[in-house]
Amino acid sequence: MTLVQTQYRPGSAHHAHRTVADTMEAAGPQVWGDMTVEVALSVMAAARTGHLVVCDDDGLCTGLVTRTRLTAVRDDSGYTDRTCLRDIADVSAPFASPLATRAEAEHAMRHRRLGALPVVDEQGNALGVLALSR
């Protein structure tokens, strides 16, 4: 797991130094890696969300998939109805620490061209998702 590097800032810090924990969204639906792409798209539609947090068998966050990614996979010529999330999730993507500043996390996301980033605690449990500001 790669955490975005952080420097702790007190809660009274300036607005520009708000932490990820202050601005993240709820993690939303958490699914397992053996879920198929079609089922994941159905879960997203039902939850009215654009991303899903993917967890391992122990419930620890392993990555994140977006509707854009799932749709691209489904539209690919190599797609089968047995394609699972563990085969396509962005498991090498970084994770954000809730203590990171929003600015630090957004910088890392823009550098890696990520629209959303899972926020995890020290054990790897999903706490939320940070989406880039528009």
Whole-number pLDDT of residue 3: 44
Q: What is the pLDDT of residue 4?
A: 43
Cβ-count burial of 122 within 10 angstroms (0-12 exposed, 13-18 middle, 19+ buried)? exposed
Q: Which CATH architecture has domain 18-131?
A: Roll (3.10)
β-pairing, 126-131 vs 116-120, is antiparallel
- Mark the ranges of the chain whose per-residue pLDDT is less than 70: 1-16, 89-93, 133-134
pLDDT of 114: 84
Per-residue pLDDT, 73:
93
pLDDT per position as a tens digit, 98-113:
999 988 888 888 888 8
**94 secondary structure, DSSP code:** -
For residue 37, the model assigns a pLDDT of 95
Give the three-class secondary structure for 61.
Answer: strand
Would you call 125 exposed, middle or buried from its count of C-beta atoms within 10 A (0-12, 13-18, 19+)? middle
User: In the chain, where are the structural domains located?
Assistant: 18-131
